[in-house]
Amino acid sequence: MNKPSIYGLTLDQLTEWLLEHGHKKFRASQVWDWLYRKRVTQFSEMNNVNKECIDVLEENFSIQTLTEHVRQESKDGTIKFLFRLQDGNLIETVLMRHKYGLSVCVTTQVGCNIGCSFCASGLLTKNRDLTSGEIVEQIMNVQLHLDTKGQDERVSHIVVMGIGEPFDNFQNTVDFLEVVKDHKGLAIGARHITVSTSGLANKIYEFADLKLQVNLAVSLHAPNNELRTKIMKINKAFPIEKLMDSIDYYLEKTNRRVTYEYILIRDVNDHKAEALQLAELIGDKRHLSYVNLIPYNPVDEHGDYQRSTPEAISEFFDTLKKKGINCGVRLEQGADIDAACGQLRSKQEKKKEKVK
């Protein structure tokens, strides 16, 4: 039987588990240190931990539940990993190099049920949620890859923007955040972590109440209900008014800036009129708002959607700026590999189907 990943436990949960199994509290700190600071890949390497403790950990947990299936490296340093889970499912994880550090984009579900019309991942409906351990292990595997290069590089930022809707796998995402933030472990600063949701308003309230200090990004992609429902089915369940109410609550509770993701699709949502509507929608929240404009990355699966022209992108940006909205155009990374989210996995799944 497959054993769960040890990385799924927060330090408190590990401490409690070891106490319940008759071990001293300090063992938890030792094991934690071996996992996240020394980064061993076998329990038997934890050489200051007694044999009974090693045995019970080995019986109940696994350190490596993910195996690397494919790795694509871009000229700009972006690396896309396709990991195989214990049950054979494939997930994507991406390492990006920025001036400010190394950022990893993690996946939270196998497939996704949100069904955004522009997304390669949305075509493969959700198979299951990832455990918190499987989400943490994506970071660990990337960090181990960096360790093997011997350049003393560290994952410094995390974006929860890979395949899946993190708020549809809420508790595992929250446990994952607790583990990676832990100052005795990976110690990735909360302000260096961004969680992106397609707009599950009910969960934005819950997330605000947790006061985790991590950044929130909301995939808006359209400034009115008619258009948003056309490109994002989720808008039927959580229309823009409900979404903006939940964001008001989040801002009130956290006083932290919200990023609005806006994919620019040619002649769909990239007109000046939509930029004006977007500015209006953000309205008096502009001091705590940032709009991330993302030129659409065409994928074979959605041939009818094209990237906006450079002129349309400039006009959209200028219109927002003139209205006093903080915004930027996201620079493309990994353009020479399967850059769009879900593209690599989608291709590999198709290969598997052909083989069947």
Q: Would you name the residues annotated as active-site residues?
A: 92, 341
Do the beta carbons of residue 318 and residue 271 sit within 8 Å?
A: no
**Distance of alpha carbon 350 from alpha carbon 356, whole angstroms:** 10
User: Which span (82-90, 118-126, 173-181, 245-253) binds ligand SF4, by CB under 6 A?
Assistant: 118-126
Q: Is 108 in the site for ligand SF4 (CB under 6 A)?
A: no
Q: Is 218 in the site for ligand SF4 (CB under 6 A)?
A: no
Rounded to the nearest whole angstrom, what is the least distance from the CB of residue 90 to ligand SF4 in the complex?
A: 14
Footprint of ligand SF4 on 259-278 (CB under 6 A):
none
Name the strand (E) or helix (H) holding 292: strand 289-295
Tell whether 297 is in a known binding site.
Answer: yes
Q: Is 114 in the site for ligand SF4 (CB under 6 A)?
A: yes
Tell whether 315 is in a known binding site.
Answer: no
Joined together, the tokens standing for residue 105 give 């984009």
Footprint of ligand SF4 on 158-177 (CB under 6 A):
163-165
Nearer Cβ to ligand SF4 (133/342): 342
Q: Is 121 in the site for ligand SF4 (CB under 6 A)?
A: yes
Residues binding ligand SF4: what is the number (CB under 6 A)?
A: 11
Rounded to the nearest whole angstrom, what is the least distance from the CB of residue 118 to ligand SF4 in the complex?
A: 7
Rounded to the nearest whole angstrom, what is the least distance from the CB of residue 235 to ligand SF4 in the complex?
A: 11
Q: Is 119 in the site for ligand SF4 (CB under 6 A)?
A: yes
Do the beta carbons of residue 207 and residue 231 sit within 8 Å?
A: no
Do the beta carbons of residue 272 and residue 319 sit within 8 Å?
A: yes
**Beta-bridge partner residues of 111:** none
- When binding is defined by CB under 6 A, the residue of 53, 57, 85, 116 that contacts ligand SF4 is 116
Closest by CA to 70, choosing from 349, 356, 355, is 349
Q: Is 337 in the site for ligand SF4 (CB under 6 A)?
A: no
The DSSP secondary structure of 174-242, one letter per residue, reads HHHHHHHH-TTTT---GGGEEEEES--HHHHHHHHHHT---EEEEE---SSHHHHHHH-THHHHS-HHH
Nearer Cβ to ligand SF4 (112/279): 112
Sheet holding 101-105, edge to edge: 67-73, 79-84, 90-98, 101-105, 155-160, 193-197, 215-219, 258-264, 289-295, 327-329
- Binding-site residues for [4Fe-4S] cluster, in ranges, read 112, 116, 119
